[in-house]
Structure 1
Amino acid sequence: MTTKQIALVALLATGVVACKENKGHSGDSKLKSTDTISTTVMPEGDITVVPFQVDGGGWGFDIKIGPKTRIHQDLIPVILGRKSFATKEDALKVGENMAEKMRTQHTAFPDITRRELLEMHIAGVE
């Protein structure tokens, strides 16, 4: 699903819940023009990148939204093979890049390309 499709599904689900809640209060299942539908917007400051050491050597990162881990990345994405990041700094560079995309593009699972990894000079990416 695309980000727009996910957002639409979330909005529709919120509307269904709001309709059901409204029906219980007034007996009328229709939303009125004065009714509001509340949604939760994620504050940008709640996205954090936490580096960690991988068993057997190397580094990875978690991207957390509040206390919940949303992305657990113990391997360098996009490349062939199963390699962890060589340094904590490399893991943080990629993690921060992805977190920034989450903040600005409002996507839960941002894409990263091999070209971006090369531009960041990530060790092990050829």
Structure 2
Amino acid sequence: MTNYKSILIVCTPVLAATLFFTACQQPSKQKESTEHTEEAPATAMQDSIAVVTFQPEGGGWGFKINKGSHNYIEQPFIPVIMGRTPFKTEADARKVGENLAAKLRKNPGGLPDLTRQELLDMKIAGVE
């Protein structure tokens, strides 16, 4: 038993240094996209539904809907239409995200739906 303790004591600083170095070398996911959100207190985050816009790697805009601290929906392109076309503006991405978030607030247990007509009514660029 003494041998195990001495091995752990000797390995722990090396392991900690290795983990620290590895963590510093990992690219941060937030650095890949530009997210626009405001911080909220931890207690408010547990029960909240929030829309966060971001720029996907290919350009354009997308949105995420977070429930509490969890990413519930991530939408990097315009839903419902054919293809994978990102939103042309941040405002369009936010408008659709807020529409779906409002539906989630009304029916917290379900998944929100969206129609092409709703996108047309919101005048989302790229939807014909």
Q: Distance in 2 between matches of 1:44 and 1:66?
A: 4
1:18-52, CA deviations, whole angstroms, 9 ceiling, x for partnerless residues?
A: xxxxxxxxxxxxxxxxxxxxxxxxx9960000000
- Paired amino acid for 1:110: P
Q: CA RMSD in A?
A: 1.7
Q: Distance in 1 between matches of 2:76 and 2:118?
A: 18
| Aligned residue in 1 for 2:70 | 68
TM-score (normalizing by structure 1): 0.63
Percent identity for Structure 1 against Structure 2:
55
Mapped contact 2:46–2:68 kept (Cα < 8 A): no
Regions of 4+ moved over 3 Å: none
Q: Looking at CA atoms only, which structure, 1 or 2, has the larger radius of gyration?
A: 2
- Paired amino acid for 1:104: K
- Paired amino acid for 2:126: G
| Aligned residue in 2 for 1:81 | 83
Q: Distance in 2 between matches of 1:44 and 1:125?
A: 34
| Aligned residue in 1 for 2:122 | 120
Equivalent pairs, count: 84
- Paired amino acid for 2:105: R
Unaligned runs of 5+ in 2: 1-44
- Relative distance call for 1:113 and 1:121 in structure 2 (3 A) is same
Give the helix-richer structure, 1 or 2. Answer: 2
Q: Distance in 1 between matches of 2:47 and 2:124?
A: 26
Mapped contact 2:46–2:69 kept (Cα < 8 A): no
Unaligned runs of 5+ in 1: 1-42
